[in-house]
Each structure stands twice: as C-alpha cells, then as structure tokens.
C-alpha cells in the first residue's frame, strides 16, 4: 500500500514537473516568436525607409539633368511649351506621344531603388534586361523577351550617342569593354541620362558620360509604331 502510494506520489511529481517544463518551453517559444516577429517588422520598416531614401536621391538626379520632367509631372493636358523638346525629334518614335513620355518616367520612378538580382523580375530584385522588359510592357503593353543581346536585335539601330533621343533602349558590352557581345541594357531619357538596373545600385539613373558606360556603349534601339504592331503579333 505504502509502495503504491509512493509510486503514485512520484508519478504526480513527475507529471507536475513535465507540465512545468512544457509550459516553460511553450512560453519561451511564444516569446521567441514575438521577438522574431517584432524584429522582422523593424527590418521591413528599415528596408522601406532605405528604399524611399534611395528613390528620393535618384529623383533629384532626374530633376537635375532632365528638368522637363517637373513640367510633365504636373501637366493635365499637353504642355504646348514642350514643343521645343520635339525639335529635330524623330516623329516615328512611339514617344512622340507626350502622355507616353510621362508614363515612361512614372513607371521608371516607381521602380527606383529596387535592388539588382539576376535573373530577377520582381520588386525583390530585377536585372537589367528584365527591368527594360517590364517597363516596356507597362508603358506600351508590348511584350519583349529578357536578355540584353536578344533585345538589341529587336529595334531600329541608332549608332551614335549624339543621335539618341527620349525612350531609346540603349545597349552596352559587359565587363569586357572590348567585347562585341551585348551584356547590359537601359532606357535613355535625355541630356545624357539613362535608367537601368545596375549591379551595384539597383534601379537608378546614370549619366552616359560616366567612364564605365561611355567605354562600353554600343548602340541604341528606337521603338516605333511598326515595332508595336509587329511584336504584338509574336
């Protein structure tokens, strides 16, 4: 009888201890989960703040080198003082349309600060040719494949930097500045400025006059109405 009582008591004590251990572990896991969740929220907030700061800095570069955008940003109807912008402009370009010019910059600006990722195609990360493909799709409702070398074959070739105009796709060799193969792409804005997804800076605005890109520039490609019709059928 006494032995049975002792065994029962031991069992009760063990049960209490086990319950206490499980409760402690559950509480620890709950505390860890809350701490992890709080840490994740802080990281997300910080990441968002960094992205917004980068975007603001890059917009300032756009305002500095392409001041027309400040007028375009606010215009509700065609700004006729913008006609000077179209002097000597190739009217076959799809961006002869003012609203497409403004939309192109709006879409680019919406992606500013997104990090570079190969072969990314989302806000988590995007590479250069996917960035161009996405922007063209959003602005012109035209699907073009990723791959800088492939994109370089799709449009009418513009040979010199001096002949580039707003909206032209521009192509560069890769790390080897002497290579013929196209390895990088972006979208020309004007006044020597272009938008692209850079390996080091993500989606940003850069000057063509910067040595790295000036040395590697190969040619531009101009999108016209015929391109839209032809590529839409593919």
Structure tokens at 228: 């839209």
Average pLDDT, the chain: 86
Q: How far is CA 90 from CA 59, 71, 127, 167, 169, in A?
A: 27, 21, 29, 11, 14
Q: What is the pLDDT of residue 148?
A: 97
Opening angle at CA 42, ends 36 and 44, nearest 5: 100
Report the percent of the chain where pLDDT is more than 70: 77
Pairing relationship of beta strands 169-173 and 193-198 according to DSSP bridges: unpaired
Kindly tell me if the per-residue pLDDT of 38 is higher than 70.
Answer: no
Alpha carbon 75 to chain centroid distance? Answer: 25
Kindly tell me if the per-residue pLDDT of 25 is higher than 90.
Answer: no
pLDDT confidence tier of residue 182, bands split at 50, 70 and 90: very high
CA distance 48 to 212: 30
Angle, helices 2-65 vs 98-111, to 10°: value is: 140
Structure tokens at 230: 């032809």
pLDDT confidence tier of residue 54, bands split at 50, 70 and 90: confident
**Active-site annotation, residues:** 128, 184, 196
Q: Is the peptide bond before 119 cis (omega within 30 degrees of 0)?
A: yes
Stretch 153-175: mean pLDDT: 96
Burial (CB count <10 Å: 0-12, 13-18, 19+), residue 110: middle
Q: What is the pLDDT of residue 225?
A: 74
């Amino acid at each position: 009888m006494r032995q049975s009582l002792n065994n029962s008591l031991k069992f009760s004590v063990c049960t209490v201890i086990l319950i206490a251990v499980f409760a402690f572990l559950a509480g620890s896991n709950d505390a860890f989960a809350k701490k992890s969740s709080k840490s994740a929220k802080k990281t997300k907030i910080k990441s968002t703040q960094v992205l917004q700061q980068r975007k603001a800095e890059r917009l300032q570069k756009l305002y500095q080198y392409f001041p027309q955008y400040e007028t375009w940003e606010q215009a509700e109807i065609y700004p006729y003082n913008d006609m000077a912008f179209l002097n000597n402009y190739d009217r076959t370009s799809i961006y002869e349309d003012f609203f497409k010019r403004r939309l192109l910059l709006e879409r680019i600006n919406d992606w500013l600060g997104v990090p570079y990722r190969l072969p990314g195609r989302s806000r988590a990360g995007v590479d250069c040719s996917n960035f161009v493909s996405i922007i063209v799709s959003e602005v012109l409702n035209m699907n073009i494949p990723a791959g800088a070398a492939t994109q370089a074959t799709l449009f009418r070739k513009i040979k010199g930097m001096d002949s580039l105009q707003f909206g032209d796709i521009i192509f560069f060799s890769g790390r080897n500045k002497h290579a013929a193969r196209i390895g990088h792409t972006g979208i020309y804005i004007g006044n020597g400025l272009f938008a692209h997804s850079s390996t080091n800076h993500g989606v940003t605005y850069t000057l063509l006059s910067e040595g790295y890109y000036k040395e590697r520039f190969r040619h531009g490609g101009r999108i016209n109405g015929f391109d839209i019709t032809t590529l839409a059928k593919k």
